[in-house]
Structure 1
Amino acid sequence: MSKVEDFEELRPLLFSIAYRILGSVSEAEDAVQETWLRFDGSATRPTSTRAFLSAAVTRISIDVLRSARARREEYVGPWFPEPLLSDPYQDPARSVELADSVSMAALLLERLSPLERAVFLLREVFGFGFDEVAAAVGRSEAACRQLLVRARRHMEAGRPRFTADGQERQELATRFFDALKDGDVGGLQQLLAANVELVGDGGGKAPQLAKAVMGAENVARLLGTVFPWLLRIDVTFEQHEVNGQPGAIFRDRDGKVLHILALEVLDGQIRSIRTVLNPDKLGHLGPVADAWAIDREVKLARRQRN
């Protein structure tokens, strides 16, 4: 095969590695493009194209993540990953690992260093051998084994594994969105964990909560109040998987993307609700709505009704 054909065959894998390291669709796409430029510019063909490209995209992503962490310290409000609606890389033998590693809970685990994150992903999620991992991150196999031990410890301590099967999560999500549509505060509260958290990422570029809302009663009351108003001004939503978990895309009356809502389900209850409103993180999904204009419409509709 030609270089182009080799690269395109591996593009889904390269994007999936980069996205899981960076948590950004746009930055992952840039990393993949830079990987192509390095591959295209190499004078000789590597013995293993997969190993060469995986190593290249990993190193590029690590460098980008190191600089991105400094920028995120100045980010306005909570930082969430750019929503991923579908993972281009599929491997039935590793479907559980792939789904779990793309969840927002996993991507938000900042306690891992860039190297630990890369080693964990390559070894545990994508099944690379330690020789390939070592070559990719520029460390010895022994060092990579130590990095993996630390990463496993952080991963196990810092986030849940989503044990509910897909059908159970989807049924729970359907009940949640039905109650949301109806403004059924009681119905919502029954589906929420007692310590549920509702958090929004607007990045200072869209209306967002001043702080996280905690507790089933508080979250249910807020959702049961706000979303009926959105529906009254023709905001619509469609259920969609978001980062491997149930969620929805909300659109304005013109079909533009307003925000993404993602649910984290554990033990038959919703334990976290995350919304992404920052327009910079939604552009890869299509035209983006003016969230500030929607906010003004909601406030006006409330005044008129009251």
Structure 2
Amino acid sequence: MERAVFVLNEVFGFAHPEIARILDRSPTAVRQLATRARRHVHARRPRHRPEADLHARVTERFAAAALGGDLRTLLELLAPDVTLRTDGGGKGPAVSLHPVHGRDRVAAVFMAAARALPVVGVDLLHRRVAGDPGVLVFADGGPLAVVVVDLTSEGDRIAGVHSATNPDKLPGITRPAASRRASRPGCGP
């Protein structure tokens, strides 16, 4: 419930009373869940905040490598002890209900995801998500995922990847007409 409240409020901008109606909870309970969720998210975040442009550049390189199937670049970007957390709600293309740990395992997940995506019709939109640089991924015109990465304290590697793919949590995301097309190997014009 905390995750649902956090994503609906922080990512999609729903007010607490709206979330209360969606989740069939009281507004007071939703506010408590939101407070706890923010506390948990901030506890997992690194204390050192990297420079915004560096964070954005690493996020963009990661998205291009992950969706483009560029294993070499992906392995360069991921810290050895990286953790992937996905939220597919049993409906989205999430890997597991449990976090995936380690550079090789996380890279393998993204290589499999890149192979499963359509060759054309995948778009990326770089936007701030919950205060950090993030990537909105669209496939076949609809939202597929929201991805945010945490960087190591040095700021040069990715320590954590957070991916929301539950379609119930993505309905408010729309693709603008001029979004950036992802470059995938073998994609035609």
**With structure 2 as the length reference, what TM-score do the two structures score?**
0.68
Equivalent of 1:185, from 67, 71, 91? 71
Residues 184-242 of structure 1, C-alpha deviations (whole Å, 9 max, x = no match): 11211111111111121111232321332210111112212321441415332222222
2:113 matches 1:226 = yes
Residues 12-56 of structure 1, C-alpha deviations (whole Å, 9 max, x = no match): xxxxxxxxxx5233784253899xxxxxxxxxxxxxxxxxxxxxx
Q: Deviation of residue 166 (structure 1)?
A: 0.4
CA spacing shift, 1:227–1:64, aligned 2, 3 Å: same
CA spacing shift, 1:231–1:284, aligned 2, 3 Å: same
Equivalent of 2:30, from 58, 64, 76? 64
Identity %: 26
1:102-121 equivalence runs, <5 A: 107=38, 109=40
Verify the 8 A CA contact 2:125 2:137 in the aligned structure 1.
yes
- With CA pairs under 8 Å and 6+ residues apart, which has the higher RCO, 1 or 2? 2
Report the counterpart of residue 31 of structure 1 in structure 2. Answer: 17
**With structure 1 as the length reference, what TM-score do the two structures score?**
0.45
Report the counterpart of residue 81 of structure 2 in structure 1. Answer: 195
Equivalent of 2:124, from 237, 262, 287? 237
CA spacing shift, 1:33–1:261, aligned 2, 3 Å: closer
Q: Deviation of residue 281 (structure 1)?
A: 1.2
Report the counterpart of residue 256 of structure 1 in structure 2. Answer: 142
What value does the CA root-mean-square deviation take over the aligned residues?
Answer: 3.2
Larger radius of gyration: 1
Instruction: Kindly indicate which of the two structures has a greater share of residues assigned to strand.
Output: 2
SS of 1:164 mapped into structure 2: coil
Report the counterpart of residue 161 of structure 2 in structure 1. Answer: 273
Verify the 8 A CA contact 2:59 2:148 in the aligned structure 1.
no
Residues 237-281 of structure 1, C-alpha deviations (whole Å, 9 max, x = no match): 22222211222111122x211121111123222111111111221
Report the counterpart of residue 187 of structure 2 in structure 1. Answer: none
Separation of aligned partners in 1, 2:94 and 2:106: 14
1:91-170 equivalence runs, <5 A: 107=38, 109=40, 159-170=45-56
Verify the 8 A CA contact 1:242 1:262 in the aligned structure 2.
yes
Q: Deviation of residue 61 (structure 1)?
A: 5.1
Separation of aligned partners in 1, 2:61 and 2:93: 27
SS of 2:15 mapped into structure 1: helix
Instruction: Kindly indicate which of the two structures has a greater share of residues assigned to helix.
Output: 1
